[in-house]
Amino acid sequence: MKLIIASNNRHKIEEIRSMLGARFERVLGQREAGLELDVVEDADTLEGNAQKKAEEVFALADSMGLMEPGDAVLADDTGLLVDALGGAPGVRSARYATDGHDDAANREKLLRELDGVPGERRGAHFATAMVLVRKDAPAVRATGRVYGSITFDERGDNGFGYDSLFLYGPAGKTFAEMDADEKNAVSHRRNALALVLAALS
């Protein structure tokens, strides 16, 4: 059985592969599977974007004869929700500063928006909505979350996106200060994947 991840984000693919490699014989990113498709993420919710990506990538793969019984496509959409900003950037997390995916610009904008906000009011959480579409089987949907706070400056060199600004309290580190194993053990994506795996079981 194979799993196609509806993404070309190398970091995300590696993270999911490390968690699901034992469940599927092959875990492939979209490009690895030979799928050239850029799904427009224009839904109003994380769940809507994940559903749209999963369905469109599955449809293309199936039309190319790539999907066999037991094969699946997994899509997710992740957002950072900051309490002091009313849940922003939320569904626009990847495009917070620009219409492109500019992580550095997104982090800079977030820090500007929180300028003057004290530490006790910088609570935030990551949410990952995940949809797994299978051939001849019902779809699986799950949302995982992890809670923390936003730092006053960037810390750490690992990870991607907002990881260098997201402080995970129990570890006393930002996600970017954790190694992959530490982060994967507690991340929003791990929590969503655990729910997906439980449903598959």
The closest of 103, 109, 100 to 82, measured between CA atoms, is 109
For residue 74, give Cα distances in angstroms to 6, 93, 191.
6, 20, 15
Q: Does residue 15 surpass a pLDDT of 90? A: no
142-156 pLDDT, tens per residue? 999 999 999 999 999
Between CA 50 and CA 48 the distance in angstroms is 5
Per-residue pLDDT at 127: 98
**2-200 is a CATH 3.40.50.970 domain:** no
pLDDT of residue 119: 95
Q: Residue 70: is its pLDDT beyond 90? A: no
Residues annotated as catalytic are 77
Helix axis angle for 10-20 and 188-200, nearest 10°, is 40
pLDDT at 201 over 80: no
Q: What is the DSSP letter of 72?
A: E
Reported pTM: 0.88
Q: What percentage of the chain reaches a pLDDT higher than 70?
A: 100
Q: Which residues contact 36 (CB under 8 A, 6 or more apart)?
A: none
